[in-house]
Every structure is written in C-alpha cells, then in structure tokens.
Chain A
C-alpha cells in the first residue's frame, strides 16, 4: 500500500487499482469537532478534482475533492451517524470512500508523506 497526499489536505492509500480517500490528521485538527459527513454513493463516477465528500465542523463546511478519476466502489456509511470518527482517526477509520482508479498516472503529481509534512510546516 502506498499513501499519497494533496495540497488540499486529502490523503489516498492505494492498493492495486483501488484508492481509499480521507482527510489528513492535520486537516481534522484545523477543522475541529466534526459534526456532519456526507460520503458519495457507491457506483458514482468521480473526476480528478471533483467534490466527492463533505465534512462539516461546528463552525464550517468543507468539500473533499478526489485527487483521482474513477468509480466509487465503497463508502464509509457509518461516518454519517458517527462523524467524530474523523477527529479520532482521520487517516484510519475516518476514511470516506474507496475509488477504483481509471488513470493511475494521476498519482504522479501527488505528495508522499515527507513532502506533505514539509508542505504543512511551510504553510
């Protein structure tokens, strides 16, 4: 499994053609208490850069963008009734959906963990 990061603070973990999408631990800390999550429906086709999930804290709403093009093959439905999971385990149990990628070359522009860490520290 290889993990990639975006400048918009999403992470994806890739195994074969399937990428699991979430927001980073840094992002959840910035958001504060998460009170609402909307995950995409299974079967939905998403394009790179498209709004794929919604995460809302007490204060604000944020859209989550998919860094890859493909089809949603799984969604983390329990988040709807337990949104605080995103705070507790953003890069584990707080995942939003799994996407079967149609263009794995899109991964090439994404950051690895070290690059993301440097990016966050530079902000």
Chain B
C-alpha cells in the first residue's frame, strides 16, 4: 500500500512550531502532523465522527497557528484608507463591531492571501486582521512595507485562536456567560467566558453558525479545558476542518485560490463592495474591474462525482469529448453529503450547474456534474434588522 499523501502536506515542515495547546492535543490522543509550520492535530477520534459532531452539536478547533494582527492609526479613515490600498473590500464602510472577508491582492489581481478584517466596537483607528498561518510571515512583510507614515502593524504572537462551530456553539458560550445569543453573523466584540477575557467574532470556516475566540496564550489552555468540559463540545482536527469547509464551498488558500486566481474567477465578487468596484484603488483593480465588466475565462465551481470515488486536488477535468477544461483544486469525501465532493476551475462555457464533465482518476474519466456551491447549506446566524 502506498503511504497516504496528505492533501495538506506543505513545505514548511522543517522545524514545526507548537501552539500553546500542543500538550492538550497529545493528551487527547490526537494524531499530530506538521501543517503550515506547526504541529497540528489532524484528528482525535476520527474525521467522520468529528465532522458529524460539528454539524450536530459543537466542535472545538485550535487555530492558533493563524496570524492575528492589528493595524493602528490616527482614526478609522486613516487605517481603513491604508488597508484599502491592499484589499478590494470596503473597509471605510466597515461599522464598529463588524467583520469582513477580503483578500490581499497582487498587481495582477491575484490573491496573496485571504483574510478577515474586523473593527472592534467603538474602535476609531484600529483594525484587527486574521490571516492564514502559511502566509502570515509574507503577509506581514507585504503589509508593513506598504503602510503610510502614521499607520503601524502590530503582530499578536501573544494571542491564541480557537473556533467553536456548530448549532450548539452559541448556547455553550451563553452558558459560560457571554451575551451573544442575538449577535449577527460577522459581528465582533469583547466578551468574558467563565471569567476569561476573550475577543469573539460570530464566524468560522465550517458553514455552521459559530464563533472564533481570540484569547491570550496564557489562558488558552484553561479556556480549552472549560469548553471541553461542556458535554456538547468535542475537539475537531484539521481533517474534519477540511471536509467541513469543502462541503461549505469555502476556499482553502493555496488550493482553491492563490496568486494566479483573481477574486472574480474564484467567485468571491460578493466580497468586493460596490464602492470599490466603481472606484478601484486596490492592487490589480484594472484587471479585476475588466473581469467584472467583460467576464472571465474560467470560474471556480462545485463538482459532484456520480460514483463513490473521490477526485483529489490536481485531478484533470474533461468535457464529454475528453477535452481538458480545468482542474480540481479541492476534493474528497463529504461526510454530510455521504459521497465525494470537489471544487475546481473550469472554462466558463462549462461552468453552468448541470453541465456533465469527466474527472480523470487513475486513468479513467469518472462521470461528474457541475453543481452550485455550497454542498451543505450555510447555517450562519443572521440577526433580524
């Protein structure tokens, strides 16, 4: 049998770092693997069980490998203006207590990284950033080199990050004293969980309702144990994190998006608000705006194989005549779907849902169909306006 090659194998594995929860993961019997420069838990009890638990109750993830930073300047207009030169989202219009998804773009409109940007309640001159672990060193250098005088980047090595995801996540946090039941999707703010100060955002990477919990590294182990003390909560590894986000149609940086894909090709146009589309002023704006106006040659799509065989990242996609039309960028087994699921890029003429395609797996063209994303409907909590 060949040794399994993990889709998340990465070149940063020389001297992996440990998050503050490393010993806690080992104590739970996690299988630890190098990922994005850190030893991370790929699974505890098993990916299928963890995936199902997260969709049914509440799953706890250690995502402390991700980068947390703050942009600081004189007022909101100053920091937002500085960040808007690097990302295509409307940051000036970001209200206090809200978070937005965006991308750091290069001059060709390619995606250097995707990130979350938040403005804390009452903040006038700070913006919080959460970036991908594998990109964080490059992101920080990229951002710092482009900031105007008077705006600084502060990196929060002292902070850890947890995610609590699933339909019971909100109830768990409420039971620990956080008044978050009526929070809206993408709302952010400070809170206290069993007396531990945290900064919450109602967001995540699973397609479920849930929260990301930024907490000081000195208290993260205590908070982890308190959260796991709730019978609704179980720890979830990177394996289920990947299957959950794939079913949720969410992009994995380095696979579904990278420096060669633009937000328009990636189907992320919803994250570029109207004012930015009209005004431009971000890297690659000319290319992005011409793609919006004239269309793109290829698009990210969902792909559902007819049979049971998964099609992995890198699988060639062909049309009904066997002609190459694209490539799978994420693919595997969807536990909630109960079968294989994939995402990839195809030429736009083949991108319409219902289009029949073939996936070249082990020399055979497996029949599959282009489908709308996500595979599992999102259950984000939208508060009534």
Point out residues on A near B: beta carbons under 8 Å.
8-10, 23, 27, 30-33, 35-36, 38, 54-65, 80, 83
CB distance A62 to B48 under 8 Å? no
User: Residues of B contacting A8 with CB < 8 Å?
Assistant: 1-2
Please report the C-alpha to C-alpha distance between residue A65 and residue B3 in the assembled complex, in whole angstroms. 12
Q: Are A65 and B1 in contact (CB under 8 A)?
A: yes
**Nearest CB of chain B from residue A22's CB, rounded to whole Å:** 10
Q: Are A58 and B7 in contact (CB under 8 A)?
A: no
- Determine the chain B residues whose CB is within 8 A of the CB of A57 once the complex forms: 4, 47
Contact A59 B340 (CB under 8 A): no
Q: B335 within 8 Å of A by Cβ?
A: yes
> In the assembly, what is the distance between CA of A55 and CA of B333, in Å?
13
Q: Tell me, rounded to whole Å, the shortest Cβ–Cβ distance linking A82 to chain B.
A: 11
Which residues of chain B have C-beta atoms less than 8 A from A32's C-beta? 43, 46-47, 239
Measured CB to CB, the closest approach of chain B to A43, in angstroms, equals 18
Interface size on B, residues (CB 8 A): 26
Within 8 A of A (CB), among B159-197: none
Whether B385 is near chain A, meaning CB under 8 Å from some CB there, is no
A55 touches which one: B1, B7, B243, B308 (CB < 8 A)?
B1
Indicate which residue in A38, A58, A63, A64 contacts B47 across the interface (CB closer than 8 Å). Answer: A58
Contacts of B309 in A (CB 8 A): 36, 38, 54, 56
Select from chain B the residue with minimum beta-carbon distance to A6: B1
- Supposing A56-B333, A58-B48 touch, asked if A36 and B340 sit within 8 A by C-beta, the answer is yes
- List B contacts of A59 (CB < 8 A): 4, 6-8, 42, 47, 239, 242, 332
B310 within 8 A of A: yes
Please, which residues of chain B bring their CB within 8 A of the CB of A36? 308-310, 333, 340
Chain B, residue nearest A29 (CB): B31
Within the assembled complex, what's the spacing in Å between the Cα atoms of A95 and B1?
13
Not counting A56-B310, A58-B332, A60-B7, a sample of 10 additional A-B residue pairs whose C-beta atoms are within 8 angstroms of each other reads: A32-B239, A35-B48, A36-B308, A57-B4, A57-B47, A58-B51, A58-B335, A59-B242, A60-B312, A62-B2
Residue of A23, A38, A83 most packed against chain B (CB within 10 A): A38
**Hey, which chain A residues are within 8 Å of B239, CB to CB?**
32, 58-59
CB contact between B243 and one of A31, A58, A60 (< 8 Å): that residue: A58
Query: Please, which residues of chain A bring their CB within 8 A of the CB of B308?
Result: 35-36, 80, 83
Chain B residues whose C-beta falls within 8 Å of the C-beta of A83 in the assembled complex = 308
Q: Which of A10, A35, A61, A80 contacts B4 (CB 8 A)?
A: A61
- A-contacting residues, B20-44, CB 8 Å: 42-43
Chain B residues, CB < 8 A from A38:
309
A58 touches B312 (CB 8 A): no
**Within residues 318 to 350 of chain B, which ones have a CB less than 8 A from any CB in chain A?**
332-333, 335, 340
**Chain A proximity of B43: nearest CB distance (Å):** 6
Partner of B310, one of A30, A33, A35, A63: A35
Q: Are B7 and A9 in contact, with the CB atoms below 8 A?
A: no
* A5: min CB distance to chain B, Å: 11
> Nearest 9 CB-CB pairs, A to B?
A60-B4, A35-B333, A58-B47, A33-B48, A62-B2, A63-B2, A8-B1, A9-B1, A62-B1
Bound CA span A98–B166, Å: 44
Which residue of chain A has its CB nearest to the CB of B47? A58
B5 contacts partner chain A, Cβ-Cβ < 8 Å: yes
Pairwise interchain contact A58-B1, C-beta atoms closer than 8 A = no
Whether B1 contacts A23 by the Cβ 8 Å rule is: yes
Q: Which residue of the partner chain A has the closest CB to B33?
A: A59
In the complex, are the beta carbons of A58 and B333 less than 8 A apart? yes
